[in-house]
Structure 1
Amino acid sequence: MTDRTTRTVLLRGGNVHSPADPFATAMVVQGETVAWIGSEGAADAYVDGADEVVDLAGALVTPAFVDAHVHATSTGLALTGLDLTGCPSLAEALARLERQVKQERAHGRLGTPEEGVLIGHGWDETGWPENRPPTRQELDAAADGAPVYLSRTDVHSAVASTALRALAERSTGLCSLAGHHPDGPLSRDAHHAVRRTALARITPEQRRDAQQATLHRAASLGIGALHECAGPDISSADDLAGLLVLAAEGGGPEVFGYWGELGAVETARRLGAVGVGGDLFVDGALGSRTACLHQAYLDAPHTGAAYLTAEQVAGHVAACTEAGLQAGFHAIGDAALSAVLEGVRTAARQVGLERVRALRHRVEHAELLDDAAVAAFAELGLVASVQPAFDAAWGGEDGMYAQRLGAERARQLNPFARLLRAGVPLAFGSDAPVTPLDPWGTVRAAAFHRTPEHRISVRAAFTAHTRGGWRALGRDDAGVLVPGAPAGFAVWQTGELVVQAPDSRVAGWSTDPRSGTPGLPDLSPGLPLPECLATVVRGRVVHGSL
C-alpha cells in the first residue's frame, strides 16, 4: 500500500469499526477504495486475489480522524520552536524565552532586529501564580533586543517586544490601532497588525518546515484530513497556497482550505479554497476578553469586541450562496452568534432558505448558545465546527470560563448534547495551536464534558470527529468504512472495546456483542489513549506501516 494503484490489500485478524458489519474483523482495499468488509472466515475467499495480506494482530481499524479547524503554520512553529502551553509560571515563561533566543542566535536564525523573528505561543496567565502576562520591559530583557511575538493560548492577543513593535509601527501605524497597549498584550486590530508583521518575516523554508511538522504530527495521530482556517488576519494567501501545494504532494493528510475574508469569493477560488470562512472573525475569544457578549464580563467592564455586523454577515452569506461556495464565521460570544444568526436568516430571505441550507454554511466555535440559538442553527442548516478540548482546558467551576463569565453563564458553554438533539451537524477540531492535535483526547473531552448535561456518547463524539468533518465539506461518502468509501483509515493498538455513553447515564458502557454496535476504546478519564500504528489516506500509508 505504497501508491495509488489498483493493488488489492487484505487486512485481517483485527477489529474493523464499520456500520456495515459490527462484528467485522477484515477489510479489503483496492487502490483508493474500500472494496469489502466482513468476518475472518469470509476473508479466506480474498486471499488468492490479494497483492498483500496484512495481519492486524488484533488491532482496531477505524476511519481516520478529520480535524475541522487548524492553523498549520502556527501549529508547526509551536511544535518546532517556543511552545509555552502548560508553562507553570510567568518566571518560567521568561526563562524559556531567554533560552530560545540564545538557541536561535547560536544557529544563525536570529540576528539584528532587522533579521528574523522569534514566534512563540501558548502562554496563559490565568494559571500562573503571578496572574498576569509579561510586561514589555520583561519581554525585552528576556529577548535581548530580538523581535519577539508570543501569542496567548487563544491566539486573540499577544505580547510583542519593542523591536517587533517598532517594525509594526513603521508598516501599520501600530500605536493608533484599536487594541494597542503600550506595555501589555495587544488585541483586536493591533494584534492582527503585529501578527502580520511577525509572520511576514518567516522565510518560505521556515514556513514549509513548520507546515510539514504539522502534517507529520497529524498523520502520527491518525488524522487523515485537516481543515485549514486561513485568512488575511490569521496567516496569508501565500501561506495557504504553500500549504495546499505541500499537501497535494501526498505525504500526509489531505488539506482543505478556508479563506476567512469578507466577500472574498474570487480570492478563495483563486487560492483553491473550499469555502470563504473559517476564521472570518465576528468576535474574538473569551480568554482575551474579546468574545462579544450581550452582558459584560464578570472580570472586565465591557462586552468584548464586535468585528462584523449582522448586515455584513447577510451580504457575505448571500454572495457565497450565489457563488455556490460555503461561508463560515468565527463566533464565540452570544452577541456575536446573534449577529451571525440574524445575518444568515436575512440572507435566506434574499436567496432562499433551501439554497442556504444546501451549502451547510459553518460557524466556528459557537460556544455561548441558548435554546433559541440552537434551534436557529437547525433551521438554517448551519454546521457547528466546535472544539471539545476548550471545555477540557477552561471549563468547570474554577476554570477560565467561570473567571470570565461567572459559573452560571460558564455552564451554558459548548452544549454539544443540545446541539445533537436539535439535529445540528457537529464537526470536531482542535483549533491547533490553541489546543493540541489530539483526536482521541477530543472525543474524550466531549464524552466527559465538565458540564454533565452537555456530554454526548463516545460513539457520537467519534462520528463528529470522523464523518462529521467530511459532512462539513459536503462529502457524505467519506469518514466511514463501508464498501465503496474512500480508503482513509487508521490502525490502533488499544485495550478492550466497549459501547460507551456519558458516565452520568445508567449502564454507561457495555461489552455485550448482542448490542450489535461497533465498539470503540474505553476513554474513561485516567485510561491511556489508543496508539496509532498506521494512518492511510486514499490507500496510501502516510504514517507507520501495514
Structure 2
Amino acid sequence: MITDRGQQTVMYRNGSVYSPANPFATAVLVHNDRVAWVGEEAGADSLIDPTMVTVDLDGLILVPGFVGRVAEGDESADTDEVLARAGYTAGVVFTDRGVSLRSIYTNDSHDLPHAVRVASPGEEFVGTEDHGLLLAASLEDEAWIDIVKEQLKLGTAIGLVGDTSIVGAPETPNPWAWATKALRLDSQESIGLPTRATFTAQTRGLKRLFRAGGPFGGQIVPDAPVDFVGWRAEALMVQTADSRIAAWSTDPRARTPLLPELSDTSYPEARLARVGSRELSWS
C-alpha cells in the first residue's frame, strides 16, 4: 500500500532505529519530508499529540535506504515499487553521458562529480580521501571485499554498487547479501569486512559521493531527508568478520548502533519504505 503523507507529522515507533544520533533509538518523528527527532519510547510518549499520525513498527529496524544499480530508462512508478520492496530507495544509472543517482518517488537526481573515480575490480586505480571512489563490482567476485578494505584504510570515501541492473532480473538481489558475503563467514584464512563497513558503502557512502541529501544524506538524524526502509530481522547486533574477537558486541557502552544479524541461510526482509512524503508498506 502506498500512502502519501503530504504535510502530516508521523511518529514511527516501537521498533529499532539505526542512527548515530541515538544508538538506542526506537522511534523517529517525521515532519513533511524531514526527520524531526530520533529517540526512545519515553521521548516519543512526551512528544506525541492528537495531531500526529502514529505508525507502529512492530519490531522492525529502520535503516537508511540502500542504493542499487538500475538500467537506463527504468524510471517509472512500477520500477520504484520494485526497488522499494527490495530495500533500495535510490538507483545508480551508468550511461555514455556519465553516472547519476536517482531517488525513488521523488524528482531528485544527482550527477557524479567528475573528480570521483569510477572503477571495477581488476582495474588500476587510486582513490583519494578528497575525491572518492565509486566501485562497481559483482557480488560473486570477492575481489571487491579486499579493495573496500584497503581503500577504507587509506581514508578513501568509497561507495559500493552492484554491476548488474537489479530491475528486471529474475530475482532482485537482497542488498544484505553484500554484507553477508563480505563477512567471509566460511573463510578460515581471509578476514572480511564488518557489516557496518559494507552497509555504509552501500548507503551513506554512495550518497556522499553524489552529494545527495546534503551533509546528513544516508543517515536517520534530525534535519536529514526522509529516506529509510523497515526490515524484519531475527536479531540485531554489531557483527564483525573476525571470529577471534567474537562475532558481535552487545556492550551498551560502545554506543554503536545495531544492524541485523546476517547469515548465509537467510536475509532480513523489507516491510516498509519511506522516501520524502511517500510511504510504502506491505505484509
TM-score (norm 1): 0.45
Counting matched residue pairs gives: 275
* Structure (1 or 2) with the greater strand fraction: 2
After TM superposition, the structure 1 = structure 2 runs for residues 164-203 of structure 1, keeping only pairs within 5 Å, are none
**Structure-2 change in CA distance of 1:227 and 1:50 (3 Å):** farther
- 1:384 maps to a residue whose letter is L
- SS of equivalent residue, structure 1 residue 455: coil
**Structure-2 change in CA distance of 1:23 and 1:510 (3 Å):** same
Any idea what the Cα deviations from partners look like across 1:45-73, whole Å, max 9, x if unmatched?
A: 22215421111111111111122x43255
- 2:136 maps to a residue whose letter is V
- SS of equivalent residue, structure 1 residue 18: coil
Is 1:256 aligned to 2:109, yes or no? yes
- SS of equivalent residue, structure 1 residue 377: coil
1:426 aligned residue (158, 178, 203): 158
CA distance in 2, matches of 1:225, 1:6: 23
- 2:140 maps to a residue whose letter is A
CA distance in 2, matches of 1:386, 1:13: 36
Any idea what the Cα deviations from partners look like across 1:255-303, whole Å, max 9, x if unmatched?
A: 636xxxxxxxxxxxxxxxx24xxxxxxxxxxxxxxxxxxxxxxxxxxxx
- 1:41 maps to a residue whose letter is A
2:199 aligned residue (462, 473, 477): 462
**Structure-2 change in CA distance of 1:437 and 1:230 (3 Å):** farther
Any idea what the Cα deviations from partners look like across 1:373-413, whole Å, max 9, x if unmatched?
A: 5xx412662323333xx2x4244xxxxxxxxxxxxxxx698
**Structure-2 change in CA distance of 1:477 and 1:17 (3 Å):** same
| Shift, 1:212, TM fit | 5.1
Partner of 1:29: 30
1:446 aligned residue (182, 200, 204): 182
**Structure-2 change in CA distance of 1:414 and 1:45 (3 Å):** same
Partner of 1:416: 148
Q: CA RMSD in A?
A: 3.2
CA distance in 1, matches of 2:191, 2:83: 27
| Shift, 1:461, TM fit | 1.1
CA distance in 2, matches of 1:39, 1:379: 35
TM-score (norm 2): 0.83
CA distance in 2, matches of 1:502, 1:254: 38
Query: Are the counterparts in 1 of residues 129 and 154 from structure 2 also a CA contact under 8 Å?
Result: no
Query: Are the counterparts in 2 of residues 15 and 61 from structure 1 also a CA contact under 8 Å?
Result: yes
Partner of 1:41: 42
CA distance in 2, matches of 1:4, 1:394: 41
Larger Rg belongs to: 1
Query: Are the counterparts in 1 of residues 191 and 241 from structure 2 also a CA contact under 8 Å?
Result: no
- SS of equivalent residue, structure 1 residue 485: coil
- 1:480 maps to a residue whose letter is Q
1:513 aligned residue (226, 241, 252): 252
| Shift, 1:503, TM fit | 3.8
| Shift, 1:231, TM fit | 2.3
1:393 aligned residue (109, 132, 140): 140
Partner of 1:363: 118
Is 1:227 aligned to 2:92, yes or no? yes
- 1:393 maps to a residue whose letter is E
Sequence identity (%)? 31
- SS of equivalent residue, structure 2 residue 128: helix
Partner of 1:499: 238
**Any gaps of 5 or more consecutive residues in structure 2?**
none
Query: Are the counterparts in 2 of residues 223 and 253 from structure 1 also a CA contact under 8 Å?
Result: no
* Structure (1 or 2) with the greater helix fraction: 1
**Any gaps of 5 or more consecutive residues in structure 1?**
77-207, 235-239, 258-273, 276-325, 328-359, 396-410
- 2:70 maps to a residue whose letter is V
- SS of equivalent residue, structure 1 residue 378: coil
- SS of equivalent residue, structure 1 residue 219: helix
Greater length-normalized contact order (CA 8 Å, ≥ 6 residues apart): 2
